[in-house]
């Protein structure tokens, strides 16, 4: 399976706090989480030519992982349409955190993908509500993150085809934080955690969920080969 991690890669270069947490970029941490036997990982970032996703890369990608935040508007519309077509044809897509507002995710969902949010000192606890789901494999009843940005309901997405995680936050909010979709032949997983100022992608359970999600989302793509 060939996985491409796409990262905006701006915060890490402009904010020393983020750089300290992710010295190899968020994409570097995610690549480490996903890499394994039978899983080849490449990375691509916004400021590379064609955002690092020319046709030859996109066409060879079984699962695309997407992290973006402040620069969604800079992503080329043509790339968005090409990536969407690839998903509908069977490429898996794992959308992380603030990627809920990525053009690609919004185009596939058809809704605003808006949500409530707050940067504070919330603890986030992600509860598994689908204990048998492959994406929850190896995870206990919940995952606890000592500090994370809060995302709250209502989350304006289509009702997920399968809901795997629901988050609790100290401040009193809940969030559907692990949502599965099938669109065309492609599988899509949205996973909430991962604010850039917290070391979330170094958390072993978060890494395991992302690796599981890549395996789940890649299943369809690989059936075609």
User: Where on the chain is the footprint of its own copies (CB under 8 A)?
Assistant: 84, 88, 90, 107-112, 125, 127-134, 137-138, 141, 152-156, 158-159, 161-163, 166-169, 172-174, 176, 181-187, 219-220, 223
Closest to its own copies by CB, 84 or 97:
84
- Whole-number minimum distance, CB 74 to its own copies, in Å? 20
Closest to its own copies by CB, 10 or 100:
100
- CA pseudo-torsion sign 111, 80, 218, 206: negative
Question: Which residues 6+ apart lie within 8 Å of 143 measured at CB?
Answer: 125, 126, 165, 203, 205, 206, 209
- Whole-number minimum distance, CB 182 to its own copies, in Å? 6
- Whole-number minimum distance, CB 156 to its own copies, in Å? 6
Closest to its own copies by CB, 23 or 141:
141
Write phi, then psi, for 92 (nearest 5 degrees): -75, 155
Closest to its own copies by CB, 44 or 80:
80
- Whole-number minimum distance, CB 191 to its own copies, in Å? 16
Closest to its own copies by CB, 9 or 155:
155
Using alpha carbons, list the distances in angstroms from residue 154 to 109, 118, 176, 194: 15, 14, 9, 19
- Whole-number minimum distance, CB 93 to its own copies, in Å? 12
DSSP state of 100: G
């Amino acid at each position: 399976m060939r996985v491409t991690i796409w990262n905006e890669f701006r915060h890490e270069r402009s904010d020393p706090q983020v750089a300290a947490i992710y010295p190899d970029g968020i994409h570097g941490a995610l690549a480490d989480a996903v890499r394994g036997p039978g899983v080849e990982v490449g990375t691509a970032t916004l400021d590379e030519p064609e955002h690092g996703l020319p046709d030859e890369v996109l066409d060879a990608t079984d699962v695309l992982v997407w992290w973006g935040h402040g620069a969604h508007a800079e992503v080329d519309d043509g790339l968005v349409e090409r990536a969407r077509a690839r998903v509908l044809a069977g490429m898996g897509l794992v959308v992380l955190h603030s990627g809920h507002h990525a053009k690609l995710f919004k185009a596939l969902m058809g809704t605003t993908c808006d949500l409530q949010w707050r940067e504070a000192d919330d603890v986030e606890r992600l509860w598994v509500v689908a204990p048998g789901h492959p994406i929850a494999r190896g995870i206990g009843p919940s995952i606890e993150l000592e500090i994370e940005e809060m995302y709250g309901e209502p989350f304006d997405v289509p009702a997920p085809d399968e809901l795997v995680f629901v988050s609790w936050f100290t401040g009193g909010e809940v969030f559907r934080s692990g949502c599965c979709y099938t669109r065309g032949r492609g599988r899509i997983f949205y996973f909430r955690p991962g604010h850039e100022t917290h070391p979330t992608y170094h958390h072993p359970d978060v890494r395991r969920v992302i690796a599981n999600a890549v395996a789940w989302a890649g299943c369809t793509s690989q059936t075609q080969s």
